[in-house]
Amino acid sequence: MKRKDAITDVPGIEVGQAQDDEALTGCTVVLCRKGAVGGVDQRGGAPGTRETDLLDPVNLVDRVHAVLLAGGSAFGLDAAAGVMRYLEEHRIGFKAGSARVPIVPAAILFDLDLGRADRLPLPPPEL
């Protein structure tokens, strides 16, 4: 396999992306079906994140199954639910008793003053 100097050159890493050219927003998912160690360096005056506290090494969860980066300000965090649903359907996640809980940290960008604020990012239709 020829390298492309891309994140997808790393075995086990997949990337899905969806965008709305008219609304000037979208989202990107980095998928790690077998789990990957994650970390975060959160900055800015008004960070919009979900599940990033799980990335602290003192916590129980030591792997993520996907990372979502989205536009849409705080509304974009909802796209993580679609990523979780996809992973759940494929039985991917942190084993919690008889269930599997997909670990999907997410972060957003404020882009509501661009394009159309009434059209928000959704997860890619098929990761």
Residues with Cβ < 8 Å from 117, sequence gap 6 or more?
23
CA angle in degrees (0–180, nearest 5) for 40-109-5: 60
| Count of domains observed in the chain | 1
Which long-range contacts does 93-99 make (Cβ < 8 Å, 24+ apart)? 93/65, 94/61, 94/63, 94/65
Domain with 11 in it: 7-108
> Is residue 72 a part of any domain in this protein?
yes
> Is residue 12 a part of any domain in this protein?
yes
Give the model confidence (pLDDT) of 66-105 as tens digits: 999 999 898 899 999 999 999 999 999 999 999 999 999 9
pTM of the model: 0.85
> Is residue 113 a part of any domain in this protein?
no
> Is residue 114 a part of any domain in this protein?
no
pLDDT > 70? residue 123: no
Please report, as a single letter, which amino acid is at residue 99: A
The candidate with the shortest Cα–Cα distance to 25, out of 67, 69, 68, 72, is 72
pLDDT > 70? residue 9: yes
